[in-house]
Amino acid sequence: MAAATPCDGFTLRTLLTHFTGTTGAFAYAGKTRSLDANDPWGSAVQLNDDEWPEQLTANLDAISAVWCQQDTWQGTIQGTVMPARSLGEMALIEILLHGWDVARATDQQVDVSDALGAELLRCVAETADLGRQVGAYGTKVPVADNASDFAKALGLAGRSPN
């Protein structure tokens, strides 16, 4: 749990706590059409080492169940000025980037389809400047022109796919 991750200043424990909190926020927003007024981005989540696997799995299952419905992507989400579509795209970015971060920190591979990699690249490209301004993305990492779209998205978000 003390292992380094591709996220600057995040140990695996810190990343898993953050990831569990944010996925909980995205699941909550998709279910209720609002963010939790007391903790909109799940930053207050505190978990023991034995609690995060079950909670993270439940959050990801909830995200899958609610965000796969077309109507979830329509309109707005109370508690944010963003349209639901933007929040759904943020969830995609969060899940794929931090999922990859966890995999890297634990010596695992992530396989992403070409279509999903292309969608991630589109979403990251649209948020790259703002993401760097708020510290969500690191400095762009050069990636080969013939790399997969997933690898290009990782590089654009400040992660070295290699």
In a 13 Å sphere around the CA of 120, the CA atoms on its Cβ side amount to: 26
- Portion of the chain with pLDDT greater than 70, in percent: 100
Helix (H, G, I), strand (E, B) or coil at 89: helix
pLDDT tens by residue, 63-108: 999 999 999 999 998 888 889 999 999 999 999 999 999 999 999 9
Burial category of 104 from C-beta neighbours within 10 Å (exposed 0-12, middle 13-18, buried 19 and up): buried
Residue 98: the pLDDT is 96
pLDDT tens by residue, 45-70: 888 888 889 999 999 999 999 999 99
pLDDT tens by residue, 7-24: 988 999 999 999 999 999
Q: Distance of alpha carbon 24 from its chain centroid, rounded? A: 11
Domain ranges of the chain: 1-80
Residue 80: the pLDDT is 85
Can you give the pTM of this predicted structure?
0.92
Residue 108: the pLDDT is 96
At residue 37 the predicted structure's pLDDT band, cuts being 50, 70 and 90, is confident
Residue 44: the pLDDT is 84
Residue 140: the pLDDT is 96
CA atoms of 104 and 100, how far apart (whole Å): 6
